[in-house]
Amino acid sequence: MSNALQNDTLESDRELASTPLVQLSMQQAINRALGEILEADDRALIFGEDVGLLGGVFRVTDGLQQRFGANRVFDTPLAESGILGTAIGLAMAGFHPIPEIQFDGFAYPAVNQIITQLARMNYRSRGTLPMPVTLRVPSFGGIRAPEHHGESLESLFAHVPGLKVVSPSNPQQAYHLLKHAASMPDPVIFMEPKARYWNKADVNLTDNRTGGAVDSASVEGSVIARPGKHATLIAWGAMVSRCLQVAELAAEDGIELEVLDLRWLKPIDEAGLAASVSRTRRAIVVHEGPHTAGLGAEVAALVSQSCFDSLRAPVERVTGFDVPYPSGDLEDEYIPNIDRILFGVQRVLEYRRG
């Protein structure tokens, strides 16, 4: 081997060995992304209830106030409408606010600000007042919290024109999707699945093509978390992990389920959705929100519209129930479990046209 070729090979090996692949929990991945956002953009500000000195209820902002100061990472009063009003005013003044709603159930007092101002300001100003606001919302259930500390609000936010909505399912996605969301000129509702905060996985800090997802070459659209051929399980947030468990169990009986991680709930990746279901010809949508008018209904309509000739069964929905999201002692009955999802799979596989 020539010296030049040998040097090139050694340099390539060193680059490969130095790939910044680290094991992080989702909480740690979001914390790291927030730190890098603050470092890169001196207009970025983080604020919310207890996000400063305490580092947040889930310690997602731990250490950031110490690093960047109380002028850039600061606590607010317990007033969600005020938090969003402050974010809107700061965005109008040229800042990049990253407010936090402490729990998803506390978002309701801020809904008026979110819908009537945050989502509309760019439109009503004909583009002169963009709203680069990334609203972090610890979301969904699975942590056995009291009432009002677990909700599934994606259909509420996704219904509002002017908002983008995204929910990561693993640390890799959380890191890259948050950085991408913070770079957008539009308001983004970043729904963090609380039940997945402490699950660790490898995170490539420079390349978003890893992290357990197939064909996740970008931070846009959906990703196939597990390929299959007999039916597609469509999910987001914490339900992706549950659907992967279901796919593992189904594989023991020779049933190959594809798991599509939708990620972006507004806009929905219609092309990725159609491509997956066109291959498998059956679809089951899984989410924690109530059944009636849940986001699964929109997904089912898109699948029916795009894949009508391919479908071999009606689109199945496995969801929460049409009751208020319960407190922790009842959430196991409410959140779709493995058995309920498997029954949904069974229904689409056994469906026969009359």
- pLDDT score of 214: 34
Average pLDDT over residues 66-70: 98
Given a cut of 70, whether residue 191 has pLDDT beyond it is yes
- pLDDT score of 354: 62
The residue annotated as part of the active site, out of 96, 148, 149, 180, is 149
- pLDDT score of 65: 98
What is the b/e burial string over 257-279, where b = at least 16 CB atoms within 10 angstroms of the residue's CB?
Answer: bbbbbbbbbbebbeebbbbbbee
Given a cut of 50, whether residue 118 has pLDDT beyond it is yes
Residues composing the chain = 354
The architecture that CATH gives domain 22-202 is 3-Layer(aba) Sandwich (3.40)
- pLDDT score of 48: 98
> Which contiguous run of DSSP H or E holds residue 20?
none
- pLDDT score of 291: 97
User: Could you tell me the two tokens for 339?
Assistant: 């058995």
Of 2-11, 279-288, 315-324, 327-336, the least confident: 2-11
Starting at the earlier edge strand, list the strands of the sheet with 44-48. Answer: 73-75, 44-48, 96-100, 134-139, 188-193, 164-166, 264-266
- Topology match between the domains 22-202 and 218-350: yes
How do strand 73-75 and strand 44-48 relate by DSSP bridges?
parallel
| pLDDT band, very low/low/confident/very high, at 207 (cuts 50, 70, 90) | low
Average pLDDT over residues 83-89: 97
Q: Is 166 exposed, middle or buried (0-12, 13-18, 19+ CB in 10 A)?
A: buried
Given a cut of 80, whether residue 144 has pLDDT beyond it is yes
Per-domain residue ranges of the chain: 22-202, 218-350
- pLDDT score of 217: 46
Q: Between residues 256 and 8, which one has the greater pLDDT?
A: 256
**Nearest CA to 285 among 336, 251, 323?**
336
Q: For all residues of the chain together, what is the average pLDDT?
A: 92
Average pLDDT over residues 28-35: 98
pLDDT digits (tens, 9 = 90+) for 227-239: 999 999 999 999 9
In CATH, the number for domain 218-350 is 3.40.50.920
Given a cut of 50, whether residue 215 has pLDDT beyond it is no
| pLDDT band, very low/low/confident/very high, at 147 (cuts 50, 70, 90) | confident
Whether residue 96 lies in the annotated active site: no
- pLDDT score of 353: 80
| pLDDT band, very low/low/confident/very high, at 20 (cuts 50, 70, 90) | confident
- pLDDT score of 113: 97
- pLDDT score of 216: 39
- pLDDT score of 16: 38
- pLDDT score of 218: 77
Rounded-to-integer distance, Cα 29 and Cα 73, Å:
18
